Amino acid sequence: MNIKNLFLRIINTSLGIIKNQDTKYPEYIKKFETRVSNYFNSKFCLTFSSGTLAARTLLVACGVKKNSKILMSKLSFPSVVTSALQIGANIEFLDFDNNLQIKNISKLKKPNADYLLITHVYGLPQNMDNILNFLENNKNIKLMEDCSHAQGAKFKNKYVGTFGVGSFMSMQGSKALSAGEGGLMLTNDENIFEKSIILSHINRKHNFSNKSLENFSKVGLLGKGRAHPLGIISANLSLNNLDKNNKDMRKKFEIIFNYMKNIENIVVPVILNFNELGGFHYGFPFFCEDENKLSEIKSKLKIIKYDWPCLDEYDEFLIGEKFNNLISDINFTKPLNNYRDERSNLYFIELYWIKKNSIKKISELLKNVN
Ligand SMILES: Cc1ncc(COP(=O)(O)O)c(C=O)c1O
Residues 273/124, Cβ–Cβ less than 8 Å: no
Q: How far is ligand 1, taken at its centre, from the CA of residue 197, in Å?
A: 20
83 lines ligand 1 (CB under 6 A): no
Q: pLDDT digit string (tens) for 297-308?
A: 999 999 999 999
In percent, the amount of the chain with pLDDT more than 70 equals: 100
Which atom from ligand 1 is nearest to the alpha carbon of 53? Answer: 11
Q: How far is ligand 1, taken at its centre, from the CA of residue 54, in Å?
A: 10
Q: How many CA atoms lie within 13 A of 182 on its CB side?
A: 25
172 lines ligand 1 (CB under 6 A): yes
**Structural domains of the chain ordered from first start:** 23-239 (3.40.640.10), 243-308+339-367 (3.90.1150)
> d(Cα 197, Cα 104) in Å, to the nearest integer?
36
Which atom from ligand 1 is nearest to the alpha carbon of 121? Answer: 1
pLDDT at res. 121: 98
73 lines ligand 1 (CB under 6 A): no
Q: Which of 350, 227, 254, 237 shows the shortest CA–CA distance to 300?
A: 350
79 lines ligand 1 (CB under 6 A): yes
DSSP 275: G
User: 25 or 262: which carries more pLDDT confidence?
Assistant: 262
> d(Cα 229, Cα 226) in Å, to the nearest integer?
9
Q: Within 10 Å of residue 328's Cβ, how many Cβ atoms?
A: 7
Q: pLDDT digit string (tens) for 304-338?
A: 999 999 999 999 999 999 999 999 988 888 888 77
User: 337 or 171: which carries more pLDDT confidence?
Assistant: 171
Residues 235/32, Cβ–Cβ less than 8 Å: yes
What value does the mean pLDDT of the chain take? 94
51 lines ligand 1 (CB under 6 A): yes
Alpha carbon distances (Å) from 57 to 115, 291, 293: 15, 43, 44
Alpha carbon distances (Å) from 222 to 191, 196, 229, 268: 17, 9, 20, 41
Nearest CA to ligand 1 atom 13: 170
168 lines ligand 1 (CB under 6 A): no
78 lines ligand 1 (CB under 6 A): no
> d(Cα 305, Cα 311) in Å, to the nearest integer?
17
288 lines ligand 1 (CB under 6 A): no
Phi–psi pair at 105, nearest 5 degrees: -60, -30
149 lines ligand 1 (CB under 6 A): yes
| pLDDT tops 80 at residue 1 | no
76 lines ligand 1 (CB under 6 A): no
> d(Cα 167, Cα 185) in Å, to the nearest integer?
6
pLDDT at res. 313: 92
50 lines ligand 1 (CB under 6 A): yes
pLDDT at res. 137: 93
Q: How far is ligand 1, taken at its centre, from the CA of residue 13, in Å?
A: 26
183 lines ligand 1 (CB under 6 A): yes
Instruction: Please calculate the CA angle 269-298-360 and round it to the nearest 5 degrees.
Output: 75
pLDDT at res. 215: 93
Residues 163/132, Cβ–Cβ less than 8 Å: yes
**pTM confidence score:** 0.95
pLDDT at res. 17: 74
Which atom from ligand 1 is nearest to the alpha carbon of 281? Answer: 16
Q: Within 10 Å of residue 270's Cβ, how many Cβ atoms?
A: 13
Pocket test for ligand 1, best of 170, 171, 351 (most atoms within 8 A of CB): 170
